[in-house]
């Protein structure tokens, strides 16, 4: 079983600029390709920044002139900023692991961490990331995003999980190219302040377990959760 080392010196006042973190990523990536280091992940916060993946359309960019960093990952445009845990796993994929399996494992780590923090989440078919189910007049809303690159068998970029981020930043652009759904945070859903450090502590063990490449049982998609509904033990009274 492999283990992953997590570097996490960049929270709060030590938040690291996106391009500085990207340079560290490139260095770690080169070292991992050469087997000079083992699997490593950077956990951090960024000062406010918008980053655009290769599939970003012009109309999805911020409409207020906010600068955007164009990056070499997949996916579309997203926001990074204070109150959001960003994770960059630099991990060598075993020969039997497909990229889609890696993505699903990172999603699963966020889903399990969110559950530990009191928020039920899941996947939505046809959409990447981690979502909270629609409720009342509120649509499905995204709480965790993924955008990765795999080069020479080693991953770069990664995931973001909204802890207590200012959601107003998402009103300036089309998040991840999805205009018919919302964006949320763990704090907004659970009704208390969930910090980035608390979120990181929740994610870390799940990410380490799932990137050890052992078999696992994925959490149900949101649609499956709705279809299953609440479970009532046999013989229990039904309260109306």
Is residue 9 annotated as part of the catalytic site, yes or no? no
Asked if 1 and 214 count as a contact pair (C-beta separation under 8 A), the reply is: yes
Q: Which of 91, 72, 88 is nearest to 149 (CA)?
A: 72
Exposure class string for 32-46: b at 16+ Cβ within 10 A, else e:
beeeeeebbbbbbbb
Question: Contact, 74 vs 54, CB < 8 A?
Answer: yes
Q: Which of 86, 217, 91, 222 is nearest to 149 (CA)?
A: 91
Q: Which of 176, 200, 207, 222 is catalytic?
A: 176
Active centre residues (catalytic): 176
């Amino acid at each position: 079983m492999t283990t992953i080392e997590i570097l996490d010196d960049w929270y709060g006042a030590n938040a690291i600029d996106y391009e500085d973190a990207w340079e560290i990523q490139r260095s770690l990536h080169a070292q991992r390709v050469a087997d000079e280091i083992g699997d490593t992940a950077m956990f951090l916060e960024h000062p406010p920044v918008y980053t655009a993946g290769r599939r970003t359309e012009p109309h999805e960019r911020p409409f207020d002139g906010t600068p955007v960093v164009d990056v070499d990952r997949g996916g579309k445009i997203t926001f990074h900023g204070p109150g959001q845990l960003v994770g960059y796993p630099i991990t060598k994929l075993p020969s039997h692991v497909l990229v889609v399996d890696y993505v699903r494992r990172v999603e699963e780590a966020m889903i399990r961490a969110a559950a530990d923090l009191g928020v039920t989440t899941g996947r939505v078919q046809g959409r990447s990331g981690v979502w909270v189910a629609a409720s009342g007049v509120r649509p499905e809303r995204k709480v965790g995003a993924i955008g990765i690159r795999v080069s020479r068998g080693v991953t770069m970029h990664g995931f973001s999980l909204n802890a207590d981020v200012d959601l107003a930043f998402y009103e300036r652009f089309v998040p991840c190219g999805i205009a018919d759904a919302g964006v949320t945070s763990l704090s907004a859903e659970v009704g208390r302040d969930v910090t980035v450090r608390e979120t990181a502590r929740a994610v870390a063990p799940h990410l380490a377990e799932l990137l050890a490449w052992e078999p696992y049982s994925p959490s149900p998609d949101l649609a499956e959760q709705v279809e299953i509904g609440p479970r009532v033990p046999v013989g229990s009274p039904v309260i109306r």
